[in-house]
Structure 1
């Protein structure tokens, strides 16, 4: 019972510290714009990051074709789009999806199997 109580106290303390720091981090103060600052008015928008940033490097303006990315043949029969013709951001997300699926399999099957072999429970 003592371990459970200590764990509950530690969890409450960690939650309090996390949420307490969050309110400080999200507090904003008004700073008047200086000369040379970009001012956003209603109806205008500023892209996040630099114009030569990550979005341009990953072809962020281009649309992806889901059938060419996730289809069994990697070619969309309707449009003729191929996996190689997809923008870099879509290929990156495809790779992250595959990596996440592999990690899930390892976590659900290999991890418990290893634990059973090593510890016998």
Structure 2
């Protein structure tokens, strides 16, 4: 069920930022050696090749950026296509250490020429009922 939501959120992020999934996928593939070095071996051993890992990083990264943009405000729960209580559970999942994505990946997926990504990350607040 979570994968369905990730795909939806990733698509919404790509649409809202007017970015091309193929171009971002190529960015990830081009930087996969550096990205692999940022993960513990046991976290990526289930991916038989860099293609599958790159796809997962694209979907997870774009969906996380959508969550950072829209998931911190209960007003957006309908836009995220989740109920408020599900949004709170989502934030619990996002905050788990083992679910973290490298900042380097998130920078690849954004138009972050002014350091706006770091500012957004530092100001994100989980929903008030969290």
Larger of the two Rg values belongs to structure: 1
Per the TM superposition, whether the score is higher than 0.5 is no
RCO higher in structure (CA 8 A, sep ≥6): 2
Pairwise TM-score range, normalised by the shorter structure: under 0.3
| TM-score normalised per structure 2 | 0.22
Q: Which has the higher helix share?
A: 2
